[in-house]
Amino acid sequence: MSPRRSSDQSRLTVVSGPSGVGKGTVVAALRRRYPDVWVSVSATTRPPRPGERHGVQYFFTSDADFAAMAEEGALLEWANFAGYRYGTPREPVLSTLADGLPALLEIELQGARQIRAAMPEAQLVFLTSPSWAELERRLVQRGTEPADVIAARLAQARVELAARGEFDVVVCNDDVGRAAEELVQLVRHPRQRPG
């Protein structure tokens, strides 16, 4: 692997953490405050929630188109989550890194593990909530999903909480603005990984 390629990888930050911890909210705050920071827009087979727009929060994609992208190798990583598929378009991430710029992905745990395997120098940030009760409250209060979807997300959140030791840095979402500030510092100045 060339030195150039490895320095590209080290500019990639992945933020992950349990559903309901506020990853989307923290990253949205970061995007508002720092529009110059490049944030990947994922493809998903999930239907849009009210207010979500194609190409902004996600590229909303059919099952067939998602499968074709995965098949062609057009996704850097992808995962099934709560009945839908989510994936990171490969080319925009690689070209941003090749331009010498930092890049941020907001993805769930299976995807973060795929990035760790494929791009070991990427910085993995775990966003956590101040408590389990707080996480549960946020998941239930979101109010946009049926009860079985919330139950699936809570089960998934317990699995994801146990994975924090796999991450390089832990950020607590005790306050959205504060967490966004901590995250942007990490994106701009990634922690060096040992070795």
- By C-beta, is 7 or 65 nearer to ligand 5GP? 65
Q: Which residue is nearest to ligand 5GP (CB)?
A: 111
| SS3 assignment, position 99 | coil
Among 38, 66, 81, 167, which residue sits at the site for ligand 5GP (rule: CB under 6 A)? 81
CA distance 186 to 165: 18
Q: Which of 124, 150, 138 is nearest to 174 (CA)?
A: 138
Residue 104 sits at φ, ψ, to 5 deg, of -125, 130
Least distance in Å: CB of 88 to ligand 5GP? 4
Least distance in Å: CB of 112 to ligand 5GP? 7
Least distance in Å: CB of 14 to ligand 5GP? 9
What order do you get walking across the sheet with 12-16 strand by strand? 38-39, 103-106, 12-16, 123-128, 169-172
Burial class (CB in 10 A: 0-12, 13-18, 19+), 145: middle
* Count of residues near ligand 5GP by CB under 6 A: 17
Q: If binding is defined by CB under 6 A, does position 39 make contact with ligand 5GP? A: no
Least distance in Å: CB of 53 to ligand 5GP? 13
Among 19, 45, 61, 173, which residue sits at the site for ligand 5GP (rule: CB under 6 A)? 19
CB atoms closer than 10 angstroms to residue 19: 24
Q: Residue 39 pairs with which residues in a beta bridge? A: 104
Among 8, 14, 23, 183, which residue sits at the site for ligand 5GP (rule: CB under 6 A)? 23
CA distance 55 to 151: 29
Q: If binding is defined by CB under 6 A, does position 45 make contact with ligand 5GP? A: no
Binding positions for ligand 5GP, rule: CB under 6 A: 19, 23-24, 42, 46, 77-79, 81, 86-88, 106-108, 110-111
